[in-house]
Structure 1
Amino acid sequence: MLCAQGVAAPLMLSSFLLQLVRANIPSGCLIASDILSCTNLGLDQVPLELPITVATLDLNHNRLEHLEEGCFAGLPKLDTIRLAHNQLSKLTPGTFRNTSKIHHLDLSSNQLNIIEQHYFQDLVAIEELLLYNNRIVRVESKALSGLSNLRKAYLSHNRLTDFPFFSIHEHPNLNTLDLSSNRMPNLPIEEIGALEESVQQALFLHNNTLICECSMYSMFRHWEQRGFASVREFWEEHTCLLYGEQRASVRFLQHVRFFENCTVKRLAQTDSKTAEAGKSVMLNCMTSLSGRNVTYWWVSPHKEYIVPPGNNNTLRMYANGSLEILQPRIEDSGLYLCMAQNPQESHNQTFEVNLTVTIYHQEVEPFNTGFTTLLGCVVSLVLVLMYLYLTPCRCWCRKQPLPATPSPANECSAQSSILTPTPPATTEGPGRKMCQSTAASPHQPLAPDIWTTRASPQ
């Protein structure tokens, strides 16, 4: 018995390797047990010959643009197909023919545009279908018909504006239907309400472009009260657009007072305002509506719904509709929308204020200018003093030669007399007496140097 088993194992391995050789697998594919992975090889078509023992086929991250009819036929054990991150824009009829045992199909991150009704009709055993991150704009009404075993379907991050909810009534096992991050403006509330509760609590609809209305709000509030995971786990991601305005998106499960009135009429005006960070700024709601019955509310750039008296001690709102931001920050910049409503006349108006918060630097430039002016004055004064007191002497700093002829009375420099550090010998005119004494004794020996005489007085 042991010998028989020892012989059987090599025979099975040899048979498997023989199939691989006959299959002509592309170079670069990896094989592990019943898994064949040919990812990121630049393939533009499914290999024509595949081992019949393959249960999981991974062709992610290639360049597949088309799938031929019956390209997966002849693989009786095939359970999982991964085709994510390719370039598939549509599926040929009969693509999944003879693949009735497939439970998992991944077509995410492709370029699919319309989910036609023939795409998955052969996948009667499918349980998990991944179609997220495509370009899907429509799902045909019978595209999911007959898939009674379907448990999870992911269609998030597409371009859906509606979905045939009535087509999933026959899916009792469905526990996840992800339609989040699409472009649905309205929901068929009656069709969704007719679904089984197990399906409703697995329906993910957050991050759509829903228009705020009472019926939509009531449905999600009911789901929140029932503790549905689709609402509880994505509470802040449930947003709606006030009056359908793209820039007036609010978290409607967090800010509920808007749904006290559901009249939809609007007249939009726009204004711009600049504020200094940290200093209070007032935003006025400039509308033509007036009177005691007019109510006001604001929507901040952070999708915060603001009503009197304000929120969180940072926003203060007054009865006339004005909004005061007590200590604005840079991140408070953005578009603020004021809504004014007169319930008696069923009339609404919208006023937009584009606020820019900046940091003011007033102290820097005046200080630099004043300092520069002061420095210039000081330098000028020093230069004047240097010129007056440090100018080189030209008369009394050197010996004066004896003039050959009498000098005029005014020949000596007045500057020499003024700059002489000691007073003259007589008081009869500082310059005149010295010139006269010199002229009166032409043959008298020269007097000692002026500096020497002054330094040693008798």
Structure 2
Amino acid sequence: YLMKLLGRTSVGGSCWNPAFAALLLFLCLGVPPSVATCPPCCLCASDIISCSGCNLSALPSDLPSYATRLDLSHNVLTDLSMDWISRPFDRLATLVLSRNSISQIEVNAFNATPHLLHLDLSSNRLTVLNSSIFTGLKELKELLLFGNQIIQMNPGAFSDLYSLQRLYLSGNRLTAFPLGLYWEPGGPRNLTFLDLSYNMLSKVPVQSLLSLTQQGGIYLQENPLVCDCALLALQEYWMWKQYRPLVEFKGEYPCRDNSEPWSECSQEVVSDIPLEAQTYQVEPGKWLRVPCPGFASPAQEGLDWLWITPKTVLNSSTNDASAHLTVLPNGTLEIQGALMEDSGMYGCVVARGRHYDPNESPEVSVVVGNLSKASTSGLADRSGAEHFNTAFTTLASCVVSIILVLLYLYLTPCRCRENRGSRGCGGRAFILCSDPREVESGQLRSNGKRVAFLEPQAEDSDIGIPKTPAMHLGHVTTEGILKNGSRTVGLTLSDPAHMA
């Protein structure tokens, strides 16, 4: 049947129908023509499809579903319903919907794109993020929502986004920090980047930020934040830590130079005690009190003292009397019944009214257990490990050396019958063999090989200069000495003239 079609499409057996040739090519490639077509106004290059700036109010029905990147930016899309995509896009990794007029997203709107990694919804008209609007995007890593008008994010708005790492919410109208991103079930588990700049935040949860910023970067510049003592303490600590979101945009944060509320937060509080790194030791089960570095004990009460512990962040104003770790009103950290897992670095965060010097540290080290024993044990362990490594290395070297010698002795051929003018067994060793005349006469004295290693000599050294023998063997007479392919009989190794 195919040959008949070919016959019909030829004229004189030499011409081809272009349409039929394209059909035949699609059939050979296994791609149906209906899938491989590119809609008008769109550009299709391999698996990248761009329909940007086409004035689209709906997704074209004949859009190829094999795309891995789809650009629908700069159109007039207004909402994303459940069926806004007519067929599954199982290979789609990047979807760009920026610069549209999208104001509503229905639940399950992204079920047709389960393998999205990057979703760009920036510069639209979203005002509220309802629950479960991103359902099905379990593999999404980056979500761009900046440039919208978002004023509210309902609980569960980011459910199913288990893999989300980077979230851009800059340039919206948020008035509250979205803490639910971090603790709501089903939300992101490894969010390492959050951009909340250019919103309308007046206060931030300083205690939570001290814990969250240990996992990643949170950008808060250009918000109308109230410069209170807690925020001042946070910024001072971030500057000491060289926290990148603050260092890069230092001039766009409140509490800048010449505008700090020093009188309210730090008047007559900072002592002359230097901020030096200190170590505190306590036995397991005992109590320990650690004063805040740089403050006299007892320090002035009434301030908000924050302590960063290896597990959590504590606040002097929200203490639990029955807790294992508490912060006293004067800023002293109290450890009740110390446990081995309490060991670690502890940081005291409070408004001090100055920037830290590079050599200063608001952190202290707490060791639970005998510090000297722990150090001695550690040294003993390291010494034992070093001795074991040395012994093992020495043994391995000996074994390798023995194997190489055995291979050389029993696998290297003795060239007793080779050309006398050749270099023989090399310029760095004598191969001592039995004399061929003895072998022929049945008077073989030894059927083994003996090796006498010489010091390395330059291959192109002058022949006339005598070489010094590596060892003195007295007047031992050898028979059948082969050196560099030549054979001499009845010579002694102690003769320098013949050693050359």
Q: TM-score, normalised by structure 1?
A: 0.49
Q: TM-score, normalised by structure 2?
A: 0.45
